Amino acid sequence: MGVIKQFVAKTLYGLENVLASELKALGASDVKPVNRAVLFSGSKALMYKVNYCARTALSVLMPLSDFTISSKEDLYHKASNVKWSAFMDNETTFSIVPVVNSRIFEHTAYPGLVLKDAIADYFRNSTGKRPSVETRDPDLVINLHISNNRVNISLDSSVIPLYKRGYRTEQGAAPLNEVLAAGILMMAGWDGSLPLIDPMCGSGTIPIEAGLLACNIPPGKFRSFFGFTRWKDFDEKLFARVIEESEREIIISQVGIYGSDISREAIDQASANVKKAGLSDVITLQIDDFKTLIPKSDVGFLIFNPPYGQRLKTVEINGLYRMIGSTLKHRYSGSKAWIITSDDEFLNSMGLKPKSKYTLFNGSLECTLAGYELYEGSRKHTKT
């Protein structure tokens, strides 16, 4: 089973419980959601598996040390007490990513320099040679988090954020983060048993994440690099076994997954990304306007990421949402629809009452994810 260690999986705000469920399903223990992250325990194999298989994790950190400080000298001395030789040697290149919110330091970048000196001096004193800092392509990325007087030092096992799956070769002006798209699918409760339609699919992120989910394809399958492959204790055979076991679970899904967009350029981009993801036989794409789109089935899921106010004038966007609401009401009764948008006023323009609402972030933009159950006519006119 291997030595059990503690880890931190970072995620987007609002997806903590979704990620917690994923981690439990992957075999994690001591799972605890916190703000924008989930704490968990597991073996080295599990850490590899979370990097390779988790759909809603942004990165996986392995804590090395945590302590309190009252001065910059405290940071230096306590960081010097970490047994750095267990994780690197004097030939290892490293970089430090500081996240600092503390009155102890006037400049947020300064604690990173203090930690750099502590690590360099640790090896100079024990071996006579200091390891080098490398910002572009380091062997190790060390995460330094300071909140008030509390310090956490961790190794980043992902380095390249996990939302960068590796299948996206083309993208439009405002592509949806892959982790957010996967999280929306899970929050919506889509499990691959009903047809899925994204009628404003842009470069295809939602249909592709749906295809990966329906076929149980690990999202890490397309990546060429994980940070832990440069760690001192990297076990190549163990990682190969994790990959083999994960890919053994891949299935051929028969569910219909459809993406459409009014823009030919968007569909061309989506087609390239779908092909790179190996999902050309799973996802059907077409150029079409939602108001003229023919429903693919009597019952299904629709998931929208319509243009926000940042891309269209308010008058145009209100008209767009009125059209969405009218089309859903008249052509998609019996289905479920989920829409993510940056303004509740746009949702009000739809004329439909959401059954569920959640707050999420698309980048730095606070958004609402609203879920609708569609009936013949409006709910208030439905006979009981």
- How many whole angstroms separate alpha carbon 24 and alpha carbon 188? 19
What average pLDDT values come out for the chain (384 residues) when binned by 10 residues? 91 98 98 98 98 98 98 97 97 97 94 98 97 95 97 98 93 83 98 96 97 98 96 97 98 96 96 97 97 91 83 73 95 96 91 96 92 73 39
- Output the pLDDT for position 375: 82
Q: Are the C-beta atoms of residues 325 and 349 closer than 8 Å to each other?
A: yes
Which structure tokens are listed for 264?
């030919």
Q: Are the C-beta atoms of residues 187 and 263 closer than 8 Å to each other?
A: no
User: What are the residue ranges of CATH 3.30.2130.30 in the chain?
Assistant: 5-156
- Output the pLDDT for position 1: 57
- Output the pLDDT for position 317: 86
Query: If you classify domain 178-221+252-381 with CATH, what class do you get?
Result: alpha beta
11 φψ region: left (φ > 0), alpha (ψ -120 to 50), beta (else): beta
Q: Measured on CA atoms in the order 22, 26, 32, 34, is the torsion positive or negative? A: negative
Residue 145, CA distances (Å) to 156, 221, 341 in order: 12, 30, 32
| Of 85, 93, 87, residue with least CA distance to 132 | 93
- Output the pLDDT for position 363: 86
| Of 220, 235, 230, residue with least CA distance to 26 | 220
- Output the pLDDT for position 173: 65
pTM, rounded to two decimals = 0.93
Strand partners, 260: 286
Residue with tokens 């001192």: 232
Query: If you classify domain 5-156 with CATH, what class do you get?
Result: alpha beta
User: What are the residue ranges of CATH 3.40.50.150 in the chain?
Assistant: 178-221+252-381
